[in-house]
Amino acid sequence: MNRKGGRAGPTRFVLCIDSGEYPASLQRWRRMTRSRLTLPAALSAVVLLMACGGREAGSGAGSWQFKVDTTRSETGGGVRETPWLRVIGQEGPEGVAETKAVVLSFDCLPHNAISTIMTDQALRQGSAEARLTLDAGKPRRIPGFAGTTPSGGQLVLTIPQDSMLALLSRHQRARIEYVDGAGSSRTIAEFPLAGLEKYREPFRAACGKAGAR
């Protein structure tokens, strides 16, 4: 397994890919190695925003947080914007109460809009399927690709980001059952959805400005 490490500094997201073939449609997810997505970093960012007033008390915004990170370009010297929209949920093994923190993250990287479940458990690499249930509706299958990070694992949902946001819109709760690339480690994660409508369009606009759409 190849690991791409970053130099000392801010925590960087690393998707560890085994050598060999994997679906061509997933080639673009390799670009995520230049991002900063890890569960601890995501949780810290959301908690910091809430502490600084990013969450309006009693507004019904739930745990959703929207932010645009700005970083200096490593090549052109300009400023690069990276919008993200995240919600904190809870997860646990099938049949066990959900008590561990998990993040559902929507990130807009240059020319790449992604939807990711970030967890502290190591996930075996490979194609993986998730089952999404909204409120009391019927579950639907969502394709994904699982991998490991320095601090746990992630499941990239390979449905288009706009389609995923549209599915979640106007619902109160999402239940996502997922496994890793080996078909093991079955986990159930639940996320509150109240407040998504407040941020959905501003986030999409920011993504368009950043060139992710």
User: Of 82, 97, 108, whose CA–CA distance to 189 is shortest?
Assistant: 97
Specify the amino acid at residue 40. P
Q: What is the pTM of this model?
A: 0.72
pLDDT at 158: 92
pLDDT value at residue 210 = 81
pLDDT on residue 57: 28
CB 5 within 8 A of CB 14: yes
Q: Which domains does the chain have, with CATH numbers?
A: 27-210 (2.60.40.1880)
In 52-195, which ranges are continuous DSSP H helix? Answer: 161-168
d(Cα 149, Cα 160) in Å, to the nearest integer?
22
Q: What is the Cα–Cα distance from 90 to 17, expressed in whole angstroms?
A: 27
Tokens of 73: 């370009």
111 alpha carbon, distance to own chain's centre: 16
> CA 6 to CA 130: how far, in whole Å?
30
Strands (E), the chain: 65-72, 79-93, 100-109, 112-119, 126-134, 140-149, 152-157, 173-178, 187-192
Q: What is the pLDDT of residue 76?
A: 63
pLDDT score for 74: 65
pLDDT one digit per residue (tens) for the chain, 213 residues: 444 444 434 333 333 333 333 343 344 444 443 444 555 555 544 444 433 333 332 333 347 999 998 877 666 667 778 899 999 999 998 887 778 889 999 999 877 899 999 998 888 888 998 999 999 999 999 999 998 887 788 999 999 999 999 999 999 999 999 988 887 778 999 999 999 999 999 999 999 988 765
Angle 79-161-110 from CA coordinates, rounded to 5° = 20
Q: What is the pLDDT of residue 39?
A: 53
